[in-house]
Amino acid sequence: MKKAILGKKLGMTQVFTPNGTVIPVTVIEAGPCVVLQKKTEEVDGYDAVQVAFEEIKENRLNKPELGKFKKSGVLPKRYVKELRLDDTSKLEVGNTILCTIFEVGDKVDVSGVSKGHGFTGTIKRWNARRLRMTHGAGPCHRLTGSLGATSHPAKVMKNKKMAGHFGVDNVTIQNLEVIKVDEVRNVILVKGAIPGVKGGLVCIKDAVKVK
């Protein structure tokens, strides 16, 4: 990972190209992120930086968290995340990472926590097909159906797609294109949809599978 930044999903909108083509985009408030701690190969066994994002009141943090910010001389932040970058030589504690590390046309991967849907059935969770609504098929149109074999092996096999908790998973959408970078508002417009709710934390990083 060469470059990355934390951000907050603000919602979706659309932009128009000069020839009138509509592009659906997601608006992300990207940064500014402050370097809270720097880890090195000599001391920690690997190179990485801890970055903090979005200011917060001191009374919202406990003493260990607040002590770490005071030690680094950084104002309290809501989110802290470690980024394992390929080159951390140019970053020091207190430095700021801005949205301008990305340019228009860059390919990025965006990670976030997907929306929670609670306990759902197989149709919504796994796109299963319902039974037909006529000819005596009811009243079990949306039930799971058969769970496996008969007397042998006489059990439900592992990884069977069944009803259960759906959502709140770490999801990464790859190869999204950066449409616009607004340095004044700290905003990045990314083509397409990204995981998470409005106001949810996301991580934007350079794409690992660029076509």
Instruction: List the Cα angle 172/8/83 in 5-degree steps.
Output: 60
Residue 183 within any structural domain of the chain: yes
Residue 211 within any structural domain of the chain: no
140 and 113 both lie in a single domain: no
Indicate which CATH number applies to the domain containing 98: 2.40.30.10
**pTM across the whole model:** 0.80
| Measured distance CA(154)–CA(128) in Å, rounded | 23
Q: Which pLDDT does position 58 carry in this prediction?
A: 84
160 and 179 both lie in a single domain: no
85 and 182 both lie in a single domain: yes
Q: Which pLDDT does position 124 carry in this prediction?
A: 94
149 and 194 both lie in a single domain: no
105 and 58 both lie in a single domain: yes
Q: Which pLDDT does position 75 carry in this prediction?
A: 86
Q: Which pLDDT does position 146 carry in this prediction?
A: 83
Give per-10-residue mean pLDDT for the chain (211 aa): 89 90 92 86 85 87 86 86 84 84 90 94 92 82 84 88 93 92 90 92 90 71
Work out how many domains the chain is built from and give that number: 2
48 and 124 both lie in a single domain: no
Closest CA to 4 of 186, 203, 210: 203
Q: Which pLDDT does position 48 carry in this prediction?
A: 87
30 and 130 both lie in a single domain: no
Q: Which pLDDT does position 108 carry in this prediction?
A: 93
My answer on whether omega of the bond before 32 falls inside 30° of 0, hence cis, is yes
Residue 77 within any structural domain of the chain: yes
Q: Which pLDDT does position 167 carry in this prediction?
A: 92
Q: Which pLDDT does position 26 carry in this prediction?
A: 93
Q: Which pLDDT does position 115 carry in this prediction?
A: 93
14 and 68 both lie in a single domain: yes
Print the domain residue range for 9: 4-117+170-206
Closest CA to 107 of 8, 2, 205, 6: 205
| Measured distance CA(76)–CA(60) in Å, rounded | 9
Is the distance from CB of 96 to CB of 33 less than 8 angstroms? Answer: yes
